[in-house]
Amino acid sequence: MAEPPRSCDCFVSLPPGSKEDYVIFGKNSDRPRDEVQEVVYYPTSSHTPGSTVECTYISIPQAEHTHAVVLSRPAWLWGAEMGANEHGVCIGNEAIWTKEPVDPEEALLGMDLVRLGLERGDSAWTALNVITGLLEQHGQGGACREAAEHFSYHNTFLLVDRQESWILETAGKLWAAQKVTEGVKNISNQLTIGTEISAEHPELRAVAQAQGWWSGEGEFSFSAVFSPDNPPARMEMAKQRYMGGTALLQQHNGSVTAEVMMSILRDKASGICMDSEGFCTTGSMVSILPRNPDMPCVHFLTATPDPSRSVFKPFIFSESMRPVNMVMSPQYGPDDPVRTQPRFQHQVDRKHELYKAHQTALTSPDAGVSLQETMRYLESQCLEEIEAMLRGEIQGQELGDLFFDCVDAEIKFYQ
């Protein structure tokens, strides 16, 4: 293969695919290699009725109540590549192209829809309905990277909670969804829903028939009907990594843990851990969602590129969250190139403190096997303590400080 495929990958394991009675979520965010990904937390909030919220490109009516969320996102935009909320809902998205043309006008980005689903949905199904409702009202579109050259796409989503998972695949305002309640599943930037459709846009089949894409007879396969006749090269190349991800999940089916999911996200042979000339894995996330509602969900985020050379740090929602400015990028207000017109006419430095320390450490003469081995050892110790806490063997500490303490320790370690 001349060039690795440029796409993200999302994974989920539900019992009996998981070793314990947990749902395990994982995602790699593959983006332009010089793009900085930050991790941000927003608390639960109430909003004035009739108020609006400014997303990346457009403003929409704000919900009267939004849930607390932790987001891993490209630092230039409002939405997120992946994240979780206080109710144990996780969402990740992927780029997709279909027979429906991509709207050149600015609308909601798929990444905006990830954040909106998390802020407004207290379950995977509720979040799915939030996203499809907003798609119907506002559509999807706009530049998906921080560059003057326009690049846009439609989106697929993996939505997960403590009990189930939903795959949501879109084509413009149209969509189909598949419910997954057990075992392992992954998505990449291609349509995967065939005839196993659990929910769909009410006009989906009528539009397909009117366009001449479906005869109206026999079984209706969303992927067969809506996949483009001449897909982009990146979509064709992603088939290999999708199959590689499926094989890795099947290899561990019945024994998936957070550590196993991290190893899958670090797999370079399959291309899941992206490292090409122009693109790389800029952020990664793994979540443990115990079926027992009395147990906390634990979300591990890197906030740095290349999970094979990064540390997954645990985040647990708490009533007293400590701000972690070391993984938040500088803000440029109305002068930000994403806010000025025309957009993206100049660049700004979006590197946060951990990103800079991580990059310096990896390019220093001392960087190498010993550094990575030490980092991985610290991560494994943390994983063991988290697992022991979930089993009730040790008491949880100040959970609101956990992510802060781990980021602070990582920066000091690099220094």
The residue among 112, 154, 104, 145 whose CA lies nearest residue 337 is: 145
Per DSSP, the three-state class of 316 is: coil
The DSSP symbol for 108 reads B
Contacts of residue 36, defined as CB under 8 A and 6 or more positions apart, other chains included, come to 74, 75, 282, 329, 350, 351, 352, 355
DSSP string, 358-386: HHHHHHSTT-SHHHHHHHHHHHHHHHHHH
Which H or E run contains 128?
A: helix 124-138
Residue pointed to by tokens 């008491």: 395
The residue among 12, 28, 23, 21 whose CA lies nearest residue 241 is: 28
Is 8 tagged catalytic? Answer: yes
Tell me how far CA of residue 87 lies from CA of 162, 282, 318, 347, in angstroms: 9, 26, 12, 37
From the centroid of its chain, how far is CA 245? 16
Distance CA 92, CA 228 (A): 23
Q: Given the residues 8, 90, 297, 406, select the one marked as catalytic.
A: 8
Contacts of residue 393, defined as CB under 8 A and 6 or more positions apart, other chains included, come to none
Distance CA 96, CA 175 (A): 12
HSE-CB at 76 with a 13 A cutoff on CA atoms is 24
Phi then psi dihedrals of residue 378, to 5 deg = -60, -40
User: Catalytic residues, which ones?
Assistant: 8
